[in-house]
Amino acid sequence: MKQRVRAIIIDQDQIILMARERDDREPYWVFPGGLVEEGEGREEALERECFEELGIRVAVGKLIAERELDLYAEKQKETFFLCQKISGRLGTGQGPEFSEYKEKGWGSHEVVEIPLDQLAEVNLLPKEIKKLIMDNKL
């Protein structure tokens, strides 16, 4: 089963997310992260993904949630960690989300910071993790 990791990064009353737009659905937001590659641990993969997608280094902290999902016709396990920004400049990521994915027609990815008091207005997926954040259950 493939492993996915996601970062919940709250920095100065804002949460760092990826805004997604695709032709086949309404705009939505997701937590930064991605697949754990061969030979990587979950924390190592999440540190790499945050640097690739966001341009920042993070310290991976508390495990928040795990879930199984069917993605691309296969079962995957997705793990969410609370992370802290430790260095770098947000928005300088050079991952494939900003080049290859667009060329393949997988839609756009944009790094955004959403004030926590506006989180209710955002179509953030998965909704159960959004609810944990809004209910201050991290």
Angle (nearest 5°) at CA 102 between 44 and 57:
25
CATH code of the domain in which 63 resides: 3.90.79.10
Question: What is the dihedral angle through the alpha carbons of 36, 40, 46, 48, rounded to the nearest 10 degrees?
Answer: -110
Q: Which two tokens stand for residue 73?
A: 């016709």
Residue type, 76: Q
Q: What would the pLDDT profile of 50-63 be if each residue is shown by its tens digit?
A: 999 999 999 999 99
Provide the residue range defining the domain that includes 46.
Answer: 2-134
Number of structural domains the chain divides into: 1
pTM: 0.89
Q: What would the pLDDT profile of 112-127 be if each residue is shown by its tens digit?
A: 999 999 999 999 999 9
